[in-house]
Amino acid sequence: MCLAIPMKVISIEGARAVVEQAGARRAVSVGLLDEVNAGDYVLVHAGYAIARVDEEEARHTLELVKQLAGPLDEPQGRPPGPVEGAA
Amino acid sequence: MKYVDEFRDPRAVAELVEAIRRINAPRARLMEVCGTHTMSIARYGLRELIEKQADLIAGPGCPVCVTAQGDIDWFLEAARLPGVIATTFGDMMRVPGSFSSLERARAQGAGVRVVYSPADAVELARRHPDRQVVFFGVGFETTAPAVAMSVLEARGEGVTNYSVFSAHKLIPPALKALVAAPDLAVDGFICPGHVSVIIGSRPYEFVAREHGVPCVIAGFEPVDVLQSVRMLLAQVAAGRSEVEIEYGRAVTPEGNPRARAIVGEVFEVVDARWRGLGDVPDSGLAFNAAHADMDARRRFDVEPPPAVEPAGCRCGEVLRGVIQPEECGLFGRRCTPREPVGACMVSSEGACAARYRYRRTESAK
Amino acid sequence: MSEDLHAPSGDIYAPFGDIILLSHGAGGQLMAELIDRLFVAGFDNPVLRRREDSGVIEIAGSRLALTTDSFVVTPVVFPGGDIGKLAACGTVNDLAAAGAQPAAMAASFILEEGLEQALLRRVVESLRAAADEAGVAVVTGDTKVVPKGAADTLFITTAGVGLVPPNVEISASAARPGDAVLINGGIGEHGAAIMCAREGIDLQLDIGSDCAPLNRLVGALVEAGCDLHCMRDPTRGGVSAALNEIAEQSGVCIELDEESLPVAPAVQTACELLGLDPLQVANEGKMLVILPQQRAERALAAMRGAPYGAASTVIGRVLDGPAGRVQLRTAIGPTRIIDRPVGEPMPRIC
């Protein structure tokens, strides 16, 4: 599970934001996110924004996909790294 | 659609399939834990594209499929109470309980309403102060924060006629039960992208470190799934077992701590019964003492008759990845989307429904 | 059937045996079965057995197409129209699917006690405007009022008649291998607009229902001599239900190309967000046209020059077999089967 699609934040008022993607627009709660600005893309699930979509990372993933000649025994995703403040 | 189309690019898909075909490793058994991955794989025919390199097995990550019969029966009884508006995600409407379904109950006069968001259920409660609005809380860590928020929002606005029946479940404990099972042979896990948005990558570490099974946290578009398969096969070929994130644009190692805190404000972890897996310790969410008054289980005095499992149904084994849908004697015969017997066929992302609905033209029954 | 799978106590779960569900009206498998087992079997006659959108009967040497429809949409007023416009267009389009121009219409109204007259007036005006556009008049009708709660605001039932031109042999069983499958524009718009306007979904789309009368578009096709085999307006159940019916009745396989399927961005977004398949979502201003491949260019030209046809395009083809199947060539390569929807589409989160 779950269906969540990226939508662009158009405006924010308190814990509510108006988001839009390709001809569709909705009001959602951004109360689950620490920081959100107009222009950000967020993942919308069940009427709530659950994460911001990172443009850099998106580009990075697409580049990795293109690097098909790369050595296969190297880790290719985002490295786990130290985890701060994990619950 | 931005951030979607690029990850459905046919050329990238073709190149990825080629790259996967070039990997020198024995055929791997990879389990996609999450039902939405099962759907995506079926929708785009990905299984057959990489058939020789990997056997993709559907796992128990379909919250609809793993909801215990008893929970459905309870919610149905509550829906039939006078003055109650029972609200649910659409996914649950056709799922058979022991004796009926929400769709049938609605036809017989129960106040059942489909909502897109728990916030809509709160809104219904606001608009009908004389009714009791109860929400069927189904879903994993992706959905629990939204439901928890709805409880806090209702409380904050003094909407006291709202309550939630929590059947929420957690993925890592299910993974723990899976890897410990003797009849499971899995070479890698395709981990749920949106659950991981919330929980991050750390909860999967034990699978890689203690059990030596590689994990890749995957997005849902064809490029995401194939890239994740590629990363898993690369780990298998190199003898590595680590947790990697393919879905970097949405998943960070630390996940969404704020969302987790909100869940923690309302719920506590309890043992839970999963259809197919049985009782799994520390795998469910129940209301904590602070918000017990919003707990539908406590608010309504409902006692359904003992749950009945349909004979011949092998959903449990399908959910654990022990058998493929086609190996169940009912699949495609007695059990079809048109007349489903078990939850795996009713749920739009159940392994059986996905396999049946999107079956490839060559192998159609 | 399913009885032996459960405890043999009084309250046996018989999934689809005994009561009518909303899904029985959703245009999918359940509805098809209800119609077959109850209505076609019950009224049993050669015309009905053909299971076309309109019944075509011979009177005094001419072929008369007769159709009837009920309109129960909620909300009654929606982006792109209202129940009145829908009633006129739906009736006209059912006749058009038989190749007929509408000659006359009847409209019966069932009104719920407490309905505001201003709303009723609006609906009547919309119906009139759409009928005018199609060049047809409402020549008779009926009015009933029922107590509050017995009807959701208002229901409209219509009937329409029209003459099928000579040399037009359109039937759901007439699709042949080698035919092309065309449509006049984007799919899923009506159903998406209705669902998004519903309480609780609250998704604002930049397009509304595609509700429109298509008789002039069909007239252009007939006039251009396109040798039309099948036509169907894909209402409830969407393109999927309509093509599955044709594939079954014609004993052919219909293949669609995902890349050629026109879907407006707003509909795409709504479907992705709510977990719907645009192929299963209702249309009210679309006509599927199946005809020999050699006539496809001519048909496109005729459609594109007609009202509501500017975006006409080829979306697939008819193959030999397997008979009764509808399949989709995905944009990334593999082909999958498009099943008839079972019941009503519902927003999902998984």
Residues B203-223: tens digit of each pLDDT:
999 999 999 999 999 999 999
Would the pLDDT of C4 be above 70?
no
- Find the residue in A nearest to B20 (Cα): A68
Partners of B14 on chain C (C-beta within 8 Å) are 332-333
B335's CB contacts (< 8 A; 6+ apart) are B313, B328, B341, B342, B345, B352
From chain B, the residues in CB contact with C16 under 8 A are: 338-339
- C13 pLDDT band, cuts 50/70/90, is very low
What class, spelled out in words, does domain C179-337 have in CATH? alpha beta
Residue C97 pLDDT: 97
Q: Are C282 and C27 in contact (CB under 8 A)?
A: yes
SS3 state of residue C336: strand
In a domain, A82, yes or no: no
Chain B hits for C328, Cβ within 8 Å: none
Q: Is the pTM of this model over 0.80?
A: yes
Is the CB of residue B229 less than 8 Å from the CB of residue B50?
Answer: yes
Q: Is residue A83 part of a domain?
A: no
pLDDT at C82: 97
Region for A71 from its dihedrals, namely left if φ exceeds 0, alpha if ψ lies in -120 to 50, beta otherwise: beta
Q: Closest chain B residue to C327 measured between Cα atoms?
A: B361
**Adjacent-strand bridge partners of B188:** B30
Flag whether A22 is in a domain.
yes
Q: What is the pLDDT of residue B116?
A: 94
Residue A77: what pLDDT? 59
pLDDT at C256 over 60: yes
Residue A75 has a pLDDT of: 54
**By C-alpha distance, which of C203, C217, C244, C197 is closest to C82?**
C197
Q: What token pair was written down for C348?
A: 């999902």
- Statement: residue C270 has pLDDT above 60: yes
**A1 at B interface, C-beta within 8 A:** yes
Q: How confident is the model at residue B269 (pLDDT cuts 50, 70, 90)?
A: very high
**Structural domain total, chain A:** 1
Q: Is residue B304 within 8 Å of B73, Cβ to Cβ? A: yes
CA distance readout (Å), B308 to B73, B278, B346: 10, 14, 17
Tell me the residues of chain A between 26 and 45 that have a Cβ less than 8 Å away from chain C.
26-27, 44-45
C243: left (phi over 0), alpha (psi -120 to 50) or beta: alpha
Please judge whether A24 and C266 are an interchain contact, meaning their C-beta atoms are less than 8 angstroms apart. yes
Q: A1, A16, A21, A65: best mutation site toward chain C, by most C Cβ within 10 Å?
A: A21
Domain of residue A18 covers: 5-66
B21-30 average pLDDT score: 91
Position A72 in a domain: no
Determine the pLDDT at residue B359: 59
3-state secondary structure B327-342: HCCCECCCECCCCCCC
Does residue B87 belong to the interface with chain A, where contact is any CB pair within 8 Å?
no
Q: ipTM, 2 decimals?
A: 0.92
Distance CA B321, CA B319 (A): 5
Residue C89 pLDDT: 98
> Of the candidates B15, B240, B252, which has its C-beta nearest A68's C-beta?
B15
What would the mean pLDDT of C14-41 be, rounded to a whole number? 82
- Is residue B115 predicted with pLDDT exceeding 70? yes
pLDDT of residue C162: 97
* Top-tier CATH class for C57-164: alpha beta
Given pLDDT bands bounded at 50, 70 and 90, which one contains residue C16? very low
Q: Is C203–A45 a contact, with Cβ atoms under 8 angstroms apart? A: no
> What's the rounded mean pLDDT across residues B268-286?
93
* Tokens matching residue B303: 């006692």
Instruction: Give a three-class secondary structure readout of chain B.
Output: CCCCHHHHCHHHHHHHHHHHHHCCCCCEEEEEEEHHHHHHHHHCCHHHHCCCCEEEEEEEECCCCCECHHHHHHHHHHHCCCCEEEEECHHHCCCCCCCCCHHHHHHCCCCEEECCCHHHHHHHHHHCCCCEEEEEECCCCCCHHHHHHHHHHHHHCCCCCEEEEECCECHHHHHHHHHHCCCCCCCEEEEEHHHHHHHCCHHHHHHHHHHCCCEEEECCCHHHHHHHHHHHHHHHHHCCCCEEECCCCCCCCCCCHHHHHHHHHHEEEEEEEECCCEEEEEEEEEECHHHHHHEHHHHCCCCCCCCCCCCCCCHHHHHCCCCCHHHCCCECCCECCCCCCCHHHHCCCCHHHHHHHCCECCCCC
Per-domain boundaries in chain C: 57-164, 179-337
The predicted structure's pLDDT at residue C202: 87
Q: Which residues pair with C231 in a beta bridge?
A: C289
For B142, nearest residue in chain A (alpha carbons): A2
Mark which residues 56-75 of A lie under 8 Å from B by CB. Answer: 57-58, 60-62, 64-66, 68, 72-75
Contact B45 C4 (CB under 8 A): no
Tell me if C350 and A5 make a contact (CB, 8 A cut-off).
no
pLDDT score of B89:
95
Which tokens go with B346?
A: 């009713």
Span C209-226, average pLDDT: 97
Identify which of C16, C21, C334 has the shortest CB distance to residue B339.
C16
Question: Across all residues in chain B, what is the average pLDDT?
Answer: 92
Partner-chain contact B254 A84, CB within 8 Å: yes
> In chain C, which residue's Cα lies nearest the Cα of A22?
C265
CATH of the domain at A32: 2.30.30.140
- Specify the pLDDT at position B139: 96
Chains that touch C (3 or more CB pairs under 8 A): A, B
Chain A residues whose CB is inside 8 A of the B4 CB are 5-6
pLDDT digits (tens, 9 = 90+) for A16-63: 999 999 999 999 999 999 999 999 999 999 999 999 999 999 999 999
Taking CB atoms and an 8 Å limit, are C272 and A5 in contact across chains? Answer: yes
Output the pLDDT for position A87: 37
Among A23, A27, A46, select the one facing C349 at the smallest CB separation: A46
Q: Does domain B1-359 have CATH number 3.40.50.11740?
A: yes
**pLDDT the model gives residue C3:** 32
Query: What is the pLDDT at residue B358?
Result: 61
Query: What's the token pair of residue C126?
Result: 């919309």
CB within 8 Å: B246 and A54: no
Confidence label for A86 from pLDDT (cuts 50, 70 and 90): very low
CA–CA distance, B65 with B174 (Å, rounded to integer): 14
Nearest to B348 among C13, C30, C275 (CB): C275
Confidence at B17, pLDDT banded by 50, 70, 90 = very high
What's the rounded mean pLDDT across residues C94-114? 97
The reported pLDDT for the residue numbered A48 is: 97
pLDDT for C303 equals: 98
Chain A: list its partners (3+ Cβ pairs within 8 Å). B, C
Instruction: Check residues C23 and C245 and name the one with the higher pLDDT.
Output: C245
Please answer yes or no on whether B200 and A83 come within 8 Å at the CB atom.
Answer: yes
Q: Do B1 and A66 touch (CB under 8 A)?
A: no
Overall size of chain C counted in residues: 350
**C60 touching B (Cβ < 8 Å):** no
Look at residue C342 in the predicted model and tell me its pLDDT. Answer: 84
Give the closest of C204, C266, C274 to A22, CB-based: C266
Of B48, B117, B341, the CB nearest to C334: B48
Question: B356 — phi, psi (to 5°)?
Answer: -70, -50
> pLDDT value at position B363?
42
Residue B197 to chain A, least CA–CA distance (Å): 7
Residue A75 lies inside a defined structural domain of this protein: no
Mean pLDDT of B269-274: 95
- Is residue A35 within 8 A of residue A50, CB to CB? The reply is no
